[in-house]
Structure 1
Amino acid sequence: MDWLKVDIKTTPEAVEALNETLLALSPSGFVIGDEEEDVTATVFLAGTISPESARATLEHALENARAAGLSIRPATIDFSFINDEDWVDNYRKFFHVIRIGKLVIKPSWEDAELNPGEVAVELDPGLAFGTGAHPTTAGCLHFIQEIIAGGEVVFDLGTGSGILAIAAAKLGSSRVIAIDDDAEAIEVAGDNARNNGVGSRIDFIISDFSDIEPTEVDILVANLTAPLIIRLMPEFAQRLVGLKIVISSGIMRSQLADVAAALGENGYKVEKTFEEGDWVSVVSRRV
């Protein structure tokens, strides 16, 4: 399979304005460089998306930002096609050891010395997404370690590389159910779980959420997008029996009120938020 690599070089303000569009193009996230002035946002898209279509989408988003009053100069947008092997090599350039609370997220090709009390999650993302680098994943990891006390059943919706499911298992969940509609992601996630010694406590399932049979669950982790969370909210309580806590992420600040309203309409009250940049992760509890 070919991938379309898109590098957008522009100002930090423009990248913030593009956040929602980039996440819509690649729901599993994107990478932002650490340059001090102009920054480069890199996103990998399925090769079925044409450069012309991606460029039009990005330039339209920038024009909307300018129309809203933001001072944004034109961005440099470069495209290249890469195969699966090159995709992995490119991804490895961006993925290094990440510490989030007591969790240490490390790639399989790097070593990390653990401090007392730290818990390592080792990943080889392969062709799946999810390393903890993006604020949406980081927010989920922040709340997972805060909420899990031991013995809970956790449902990971859209597991990707398996990072959230593995973290939940290593922090003491008795069982984790992790689903994704991408068979390759499920294969990668299963390998990662076994390499972390928690394969027997995670059920990886290739499925759409709408096809899941009613299942008893304590905690739902949904690192998706705000529109998808809002659309699926009525189904959460129907399919996840006894669901007490929802950790939701992939939410822009501007979308938080709509997500909170949807949660409220379905019997959940927002308790806490975790904010990083323009992104918000939310913990809500059944009332």
Structure 2
Amino acid sequence: MNNWQELTITINREAEEAASNILVESGSQGVAIDDSADYLDGVGKYGELFPEVEQVETVKITAYYPEMLDMEAIKKEVQERLAELADFGLTTGQVKLETQELAEEDWAENWKKYYEPARITHDLTIVPSWTDYEAAGGEKIIRLDPGMAFGTGTHPTTKMSLFALEQILRGGETVLDVGTGSGVLSIASSLLGAKEIFAYDLDDVAVRVAQENIDLNQGTANIHVAAGDLLRHVDIHAEVIVANILADILVNLTDDAYRLLKDDGYLIMSGIISEKLDMVLEAAYSAGFFLETHMIQGEWNALVFKKTDDISGIMGG
């Protein structure tokens, strides 16, 4: 194979993850996301230094396809599915699609531009599987394969989820990872000392991708990946549940999360665009949760809830 086909979508940030999944399901061998919100004020939430970048409401998602695939048919399918996102309450804005052909070496170079080792939290660094990066000190390495799509693990929603896991996990916990995607949150949970992790995703492609990424990391036999519709029909009780998915979907798992969390357990929810924050808070409060931590990066929000009867402990009393 000497050539690749590139399809780039410009779309409103709110629809980013859904659009990325559509590209993967249409046959893409990988997606790269260019989002100005990753570069706020020159310094990222976790101390990364960035050049000044103009802030816009749209993101560019670039997908790569083998040369033998029918690009016109793929483009048509992608356009049709993107048009359906409004039915899920997602704002897409004026969607723009562009295609071009790439030589093999150009495709590889494009990946390197988007995907380099990235220190995400104090302890966690995400590293592309093809690099010889060595851990320093207490640094924990998460190896991901960029050819397996679902982004690079450095999106603000993922960063905040990883930060929350690092703050909560102390070792020996059972973790449920809902909508696992790349599997990055499950791998991080294992590295941070969780005893067992059960990862679920509705999409069979995501289940395969997550397992392949998990296999790249040593000591992750304690991660179990399966197809599942949120937490429906799950009967495993856990100390921590993490879900980095769309706000419209998060509101459908709060009751099951409360049922499955042990007393004083934590629910981490990320992927919440600011205008849908109140909707998620209301669902969590209705289920019985108390908000312990609220993280914000750009337009994205991550929430950490606790299942407890001790309100004074949450309120600092």
Q: Give the alignment's TM-score, normalised by structure 1.
A: 0.77
1:160 to 178, 181, 197: 181
How big is the shift at 1:92? 5.2
Counterpart of 2:137 in structure 1 is 116
Provide the C-alpha distance between the structure 2 equivalents of 1:52 and 1:99, rounded to a whole number of angstroms. Answer: 37
2:33 corresponds to which letter in structure 1?
Answer: V
Q: Is the 8 A contact 2:178 2:243 kept in 1?
A: yes
Provide the C-alpha distance between the structure 1 equivalents of 2:218 and 2:17, rounded to a whole number of angstroms. Answer: 31
Gaps of 5+ in 2: 23-30, 37-51, 66-73, 309-317
How big is the shift at 1:269? 1.0
Counterpart of 1:42 in structure 2 is 60
2:120 to 82, 85, 100: 100
How big is the shift at 1:224? 0.6
Greater mean deviation of Cα atoms: 113-122 or 39-48 = 39-48
SS in 2 for 1:200: coil
Note the alpha carbon deviations across 1:130-173, whole angstroms, 9 max, x for none.
43221111110111111100000000111112110000001100
Provide the C-alpha distance between the structure 1 equivalents of 2:147 and 2:288, rounded to a whole number of angstroms. Answer: 38
Note the alpha carbon deviations across 1:37-69, whole angstroms, 9 max, x for none.
5878322579463447748989x8547xxxxxx
SS in 2 for 1:231: coil
Alignment partner of 1:272 is 2:286: no
Q: Is the 8 A contact 1:233 1:266 kept in 2?
A: yes
1:147 to 164, 168, 182: 168
1:79 corresponds to which letter in structure 2?
Answer: E
2:179 corresponds to which letter in structure 1?
Answer: G
Q: Is the 8 A contact 1:3 1:82 kept in 2?
A: yes
Greater mean deviation of Cα atoms: 18-27 or 265-274 = 18-27
1:25 corresponds to which letter in structure 2?
Answer: A
Q: Is the 8 A contact 1:156 1:164 kept in 2?
A: yes
Q: Report how many residues are paired.
A: 262
1:177 corresponds to which letter in structure 2?
Answer: F
Alignment partner of 1:25 is 2:43: no
Q: 1:268/1:91 Cα in 2 relative to 1: closer, same or farther (>3 Å)? A: farther
Q: Is the 8 A contact 2:295 2:302 kept in 1?
A: yes
Provide the C-alpha distance between the structure 1 equivalents of 2:80 and 2:210, rounded to a whole number of angstroms. Answer: 33
Q: Is the 8 A contact 1:131 1:163 kept in 2?
A: no
Q: Is the 8 A contact 2:21 2:150 kept in 1?
A: no
How big is the shift at 1:81? 7.6
SS in 2 for 1:257: helix
Provide the C-alpha distance between the structure 1 equivalents of 2:82 and 2:119, rounded to a whole number of angstroms. Answer: 33
Counterpart of 1:80 in structure 2 is 99
Q: Is the 8 A contact 1:272 1:284 kept in 2?
A: yes
Q: Give the alignment's TM-score, normalised by structure 2.
A: 0.71
Gaps of 5+ in 1: 9-14, 64-74
Q: Is the 8 A contact 2:20 2:150 kept in 1?
A: no
2:219 corresponds to which letter in structure 1?
Answer: V
How big is the shift at 1:110? 2.1
